């Protein structure tokens, strides 16, 4: 099959698996390849959350939008704007890379992205790719990669406005304009979210190391002011230049040693794409990500400012109709400024990578290699090999092997309190086998994987970080989607066995805060001007500590959303979340929300 350069560049850097993206076959997927390819061509294990789904199910946070996807476990410490950890396919919370419009989001000193402050009302779509991707994106992609795309305008100038209110005196407003033509595109929008919240800590934290270790029975509020800009121009020679910025700042209250955090999170950059010839495209990106946090409590205060600068140069070569070669270079510079007095506050890395996609009859193969050299912890080389074949017109088999790594966190390397500057990177090897098919109007996929992580960083008996731990993670993911009597239905089941292999007293235990099973069932249907959507989410048990002494029970939540189109420009929606008032914890000692309601009214002129 003949493919264009942008539609055919399948990244060989992922241990590819069959996937259901729940998107149209001609929808473009970029995260799995660093170039665009259609959904029916990708071999990657990808899930896509579109703007339409965000609006249909009235998701309020990035964590909520992805929580029902295969392999995803979310741990939250007390509601909107509170610390939120993502465990993808059982890996650590800093083992998933998060991108914004093709560039890396800044991480905190622990090497983890802070997705709790990303304003979902500014997002066009989210792509989630499961499996190691260090050969594409470097450090931080053992579990996978998430890419968030902000809104991009097109067509006539169009304003939009949304207002909402709900339980806990929650208020939300979003407004903006967008538009474009064949040569220009733009989208400018702003938003504000405020809630009184609920009591984050459940008052049972008198036990050391559980919850916030404090009893402060007050509501813990959250405020977020945000803005997004995305604008670009296409020149007469087909070159494109685009600028984007996503900004949020606000305040989050919680219980414990600190009571308030004033935060700022800002990612901005520019991208240039140019066709040197019919078979050679060059892409250059320059970006900066910042995270600032000022923490205050009754007895203490601290601050931390993290800044990460990135430059990327990528060359896509269409060798012939069946082969694409990608060669690239990435540069990253990390800076940290914080009140703890780190012994080192800056490090940088250089990386080169190559990937090749090939086709031969019913077979496809991908090869990739990347070398990343960091001035602090040295050189790391990762690679991937993947193969896929069509068993019939409706069935495909894929197999893959990939390696990945995660650089030691700045806290572990440079903190004045028990740091270890001699730490090595955490490393992984992953195998995967899967099938994807379509039979009797049911699109389905099944994949099994095995990931072994070595040199995991853990604290020794003197509370100094060392490369002393290992983990073995096995998993199975099943997905299906169909239409039943006009009702769109899709679902997933994930089973993981995240086993501690440290060799000590905790050997064989389940890694902390990972749900061993999750199940999601989504359904939606439109009736003229009315539409309804429902989401059932089931989580199995998890343990809150490495010793597996604190067991958190499984739970089931049900969400319902109803919408009414008042006229062609105006829509009213209501969402009831946690309909049956399920009481549960994802982190020991921290509350989750009871049954809650949110009303919204959205205005956008019909084209």
- Write the pLDDT tens digit of every residue in 269-326: 999 999 999 999 999 999 999 999 998 876 677 878 899 999 999 999 999 988 999 9
Q: What is the pLDDT of residue 27?
A: 63
Give the model confidence (pLDDT) of 406-448 as tens digits.
999 888 888 888 888 888 999 999 999 999 999 989 999 999 9
pTM of the complete model: 0.92
Q: What is the pLDDT of residue 203?
A: 64
> What is the residue whose two structure tokens read 């929808």?
27
Question: What is the pLDDT confidence band of residue 39, given thresholds at 50, 70 and 90?
Answer: low
Question: What is the pLDDT confidence band of residue 5, given thresholds at 50, 70 and 90?
Answer: very low
Q: Which residues face 443 on adjacent strands? A: 438, 481
Q: Please check the confidence at residue 2 and state whether its pLDDT lies above 80.
A: no
Give the model confidence (pLDDT) of 246-260 as tens digits.
999 999 998 877 789
Give the model confidence (pLDDT) of 504-527 as tens digits.
888 999 999 999 999 999 999 999
Distance CA 435, CA 447 (A): 6
- Superfamily (CATH) of domain 5-603: TonB-dependent receptor, beta-barrel domain (2.40.170.20)
Q: Please check the confidence at residue 12 and state whether its pLDDT lies above 50.
A: no
By C-alpha distance, which of 253, 251, 170, 250 is closest to 212?
Answer: 253
H or E element: which one contains 51?
helix 51-57
| CB 40 within 8 Å of CB 63 | no
Average pLDDT value over all residues in the chain: 89
Question: Which parts of 181-302 fold into alpha helices (H)?
Answer: none
| CB 465 within 8 Å of CB 424 | no
217: CB partners within 8 A, 6+ apart: 199, 203
Q: What is the pLDDT of residue 35?
A: 74
524 is written with which tokens?
């939606």
| CB 117 within 8 Å of CB 108 | no
Question: Which parts of 119-172 fold into alpha helices (H)?
Answer: 134-137
Question: What is the pLDDT confidence band of residue 20, given thresholds at 50, 70 and 90?
Answer: very low
Give the model confidence (pLDDT) of 109-168 as tens digits.
788 888 999 999 999 999 999 999 999 999 989 999 999 999 999 999 999 999 999 999
| CB 343 within 8 Å of CB 363 | no
Q: Please check the confidence at residue 9 and state whether its pLDDT lies above 80.
A: no
Long-range pairs of 381-386 with CB within 8 A, sequence gap ≥ 24: 382/13, 382/132, 382/134, 382/135, 383/135, 384/12, 384/13, 384/14, 384/15, 384/132, 384/135, 385/12, 386/12, 386/14, 386/15, 386/16, 386/43
Give the model confidence (pLDDT) of 438-493 as tens digits.
998 999 999 999 999 999 888 776 778 888 889 999 999 999 999 999 999 999 99
Strands 158-166 and 37-38: unpaired
Residue length of the chain? 607
Average pLDDT over residues 348-352: 95
Q: What is the pLDDT of residue 36?
A: 74
Give the model confidence (pLDDT) of 193-243 as tens digits.
999 999 998 766 556 557 777 777 889 999 999 999 999 999 988 899 999
Q: What is the pLDDT of residue 286?
A: 97
> What is the residue whose two structure tokens read 């402060």?
216
363: CB partners within 8 A, 6+ apart: 387, 388, 389
Q: Which residues face 445 on adjacent strands? A: 436, 479
Q: What is the pLDDT of residue 208?
A: 58
DSSP secondary structure letter of residue 120:
G
Q: Please check the confidence at residue 29 and state whether its pLDDT lies above 80.
A: no
Distance (Å) of CA 306 to CA 116, 264, 423, 425 = 16, 10, 21, 20
Q: What is the pLDDT of residue 38?
A: 66
Domain spans of the chain, in order of start? 5-603
DSSP secondary structure letter of residue 343:
S
Q: What is the pLDDT of residue 339?
A: 75
The more confident residue out of 53 and 303 is 53
Distance CA 3, CA 33 (A): 14
């Amino acid at each position: 099959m003949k493919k264009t350069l942008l539609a055919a560049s399948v990244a060989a850097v992922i241990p590819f698996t069959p996937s259901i993206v729940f998107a149209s076959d001609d929808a473009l997927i970029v995260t799995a390849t660093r170039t665009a390819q259609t959904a029916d061509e990708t071999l990657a294990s990808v899930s896509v959350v579109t703007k339409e789904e965000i609006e249909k199910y009235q998701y309020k946070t990035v964590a909520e939008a992805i929580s029902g996807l295969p392999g995803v476990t979310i741990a939250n410490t007390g509601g909107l704007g509170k610390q939120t950890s993502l465990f993808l396919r059982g890996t650590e919370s800093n083992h998933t890379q998060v991108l914004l419009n093709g560039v890396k989001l800044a991480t905190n000193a622990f090497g983890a992205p802070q997705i709790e402050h990303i304003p979902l009302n500014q997002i066009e779509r989210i792509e989630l790719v499961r499996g190691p991707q260090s050969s594409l994106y470097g450090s931080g992609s053992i579990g996978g990669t998430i890419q968030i795309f902000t809104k991009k305008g097109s067509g006539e100038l169009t304003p939009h406005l949304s207002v909402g209110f709900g339980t806990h005196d929650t208020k939300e407003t979003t407004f903006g304009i967008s538009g474009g033509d064949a040569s220009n595109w733009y989208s400018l929008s702003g938003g504000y979210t405020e809630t009184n919240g609920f009591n984050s800590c459940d008052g049972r934290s008198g036990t050391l190391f559980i919850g916030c270790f404090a009893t402060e029975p007050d509501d813990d509020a959250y405020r977020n002011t945000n803005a997004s800009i995305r604008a670009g121009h296409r020149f007469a020679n087909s070159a494109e230049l685009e600028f984007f910025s996503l900004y949020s700042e606000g305040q989050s209250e919680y219980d414990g040693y600190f009571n308030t955090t004033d935060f700022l999170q800002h990612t901005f950059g520019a991208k240039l794409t140019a066709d040197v010839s019919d078979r050679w495209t060059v892409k250059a990106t320059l970006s900066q990500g910042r995270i600032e946090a000022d923490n205050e409590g009754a007895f203490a205060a601290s601050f931390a400012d993290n800044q990460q600068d990135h430059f990327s140069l990528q060359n896509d070569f269409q060798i012939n109709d069946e082969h694409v070669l990608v060669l690239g270079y990435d540069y990253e510079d990390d800076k940290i400024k914080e009140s703890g007095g780190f012994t080192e506050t800056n490090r940088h890395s250089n990386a080169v990578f190559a990937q090749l996609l090939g086709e031969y009859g019913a077979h496809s193969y991908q090869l990739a290699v990347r070398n990343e050299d960091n001035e602090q912890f040295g050189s790391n080389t990762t690679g991937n090999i993947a193969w896929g074949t069509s068993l019939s017109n409706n069935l495909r088999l894929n197999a893959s092997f990939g390696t990945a790594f995660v650089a030691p966190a700045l806290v572990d390397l440079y903190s004045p309190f028990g740091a270890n500057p001699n730490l090595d990177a955490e490393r992984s090897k992953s195998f995967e086998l899967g099938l994807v098919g379509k039979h009797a109007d049911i699109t389905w996929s099944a994949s099994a994987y095995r990931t072994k992580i070595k040199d995991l960083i853990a604290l020794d008996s003197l509370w100094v970080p060392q490369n002393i731990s290992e983990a073995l993670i096995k998993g199975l993911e099943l997905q299906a989607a169909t239409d039943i009597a006009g009702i769109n239905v899709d679902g997933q089941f994930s089973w993981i066995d995240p086993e501690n292999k440290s060799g000590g007293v905790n050997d064989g235990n389940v890694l902390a805060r990972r749900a061993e099973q999750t199940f999601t069932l989504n359904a939606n249907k439109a009736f003229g001007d009315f539409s309804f959507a429902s989401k059932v989410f089931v989580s199995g048990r998890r343990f809150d500590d490495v010793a597996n002494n604190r067991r958190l029970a499984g739970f089931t939540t049900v969400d319902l959303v109803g919408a009414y189109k008042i006229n062609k420009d105006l829509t009213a929606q209501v969402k009831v979340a946690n309909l049956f008032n399920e009481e549960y914890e994802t982190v020991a000692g921290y509350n989750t929300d009871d049954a809650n309601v949110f009303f919204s009214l959205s205005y956008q002129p019909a084209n």
